[in-house]
Amino acid sequence: MWESICLTLAATAGNNIGKVLQKKGTIILPPLSLKLKVIRAYAVNKPWALGFLMDIFGALLMLRALSLAPVSVVQPVSGCGLAILSVFSHFYLKEVMNVFDWIGITVAGIGTIGVGAGGEEQEASLISVFQLLWLAFVVAILFVLLNAWLHIYKRQRREQELGEYEVVEEIIYGLESGVLFGMASVVSKMGFVFVEQGFSAMFIPMCISISICCSGTGFFYQTRGLKHGRAIVVSTCAAVASIVTGVVAGMFALGEKLPTSPSGRLLLLMGWLCIMLGVVLLVTSSRLIRHLPRSFRRSRQTSLERGFSVRRTASHTAKDTNPSAVIQAATLHHLLSTPSKEKD
């Protein structure tokens, strides 16, 4: 269990840090295209190339972790990627972190330890192809309901001639992207379970291909929510929905079970809760800090303004010109929570 958790942490660190390095490299690069000159420019750009390799290596490690452990363990632990990204941004990108960032990192770390201590090895349950189809049907029904809800609110907004996004629309886009990110892990795990049960090895690449489609579609919904909505709302809903989807779908579709011992169940449940709480704190820390006493905020004003000016400068010069980059919602806190993206 600890091996799979370490692999998951290394994988999510590679994914998140790789995305940051790729974004940093695109500052001086042209928009990505199939032209040979453009491809060569990306390949020789050290930050982008290193980030790309770390991203690919992280994806391979994640597949290895999913082959060893239940998705109900791997998916929540992958939520700690934001904590790793925060520490990396603090020491490498020189971003200033507030007290809630450090609390979120600590709580997420405690949750990871709880998941590792409470989780236990499980024998693969018998599943069938029909379970994959049933899972797809349930997700499709969920999306029909969410999109119907979204359509109703959009129509009301047009009738009332409201220009601003309502919070319901931001929540729906966040939930849809998070569900798809969680389903990507579940479908990948299904491929390994099918092979363990004696099915053809072709199920692994087939399920991984479906997983990539889920991630890509999730990125599409996430981008729609972030285009006009507030990054904090969309990212929080997506991060929590991703973890909950991985846990629930893993248990109902893959037959994963809670630990048999009461102490193991308690540690695992508390670990899940701590990881989700840590992710929420990291995503909402910039807003929570505003509710602290004014004297405390004034004592940190100089450092915070310096960090804000660095981020603002980067936000004006850095443009995300890599449309193929799929960034998990939880990692967008430091990349997209700028004044130009958030609307109060």
Rounded to an integer, what distance in angstroms lies between the CA atom of residue 267 and that of residue 100?
24
DSSP 252-263: HHS-----SSHH
Record the pTM: 0.67
Say if residue 337's pLDDT is above 50.
Answer: no
| Model confidence pLDDT, tens digit, residues 179-233 | 888 888 888 888 888 888 888 888 889 888 988 888 888 888 877 776 766 666 7
| Model confidence pLDDT, tens digit, residues 222-263 | 777 767 666 667 777 887 888 888 888 887 777 777 777 888
| Model confidence pLDDT, tens digit, residues 265-278 | 888 888 888 888 88
DSSP 175-230: HHHHHHHHHHHHHHHHHHHHHHTT--TTHHHHHHHHHHHHHHHHHHHHHHHHHHS-
Q: What is the pLDDT of residue 316?
A: 43
| Model confidence pLDDT, tens digit, residues 81-131 | 777 877 887 787 777 778 888 888 888 888 888 887 776 666 656 676 677
| Model confidence pLDDT, tens digit, residues 170-179 | 788 888 888 8
Rounded to an integer, what distance in angstroms lies between the CA atom of residue 53 and that of residue 61?
12
Q: What is the pLDDT of residue 243?
A: 81
| Model confidence pLDDT, tens digit, residues 54-88 | 888 888 888 888 888 888 788 888 878 777 877 88
Q: What is the pLDDT of residue 256?
A: 77
Handedness of CA 145, 147, 153, 156 (dihedral sign): negative
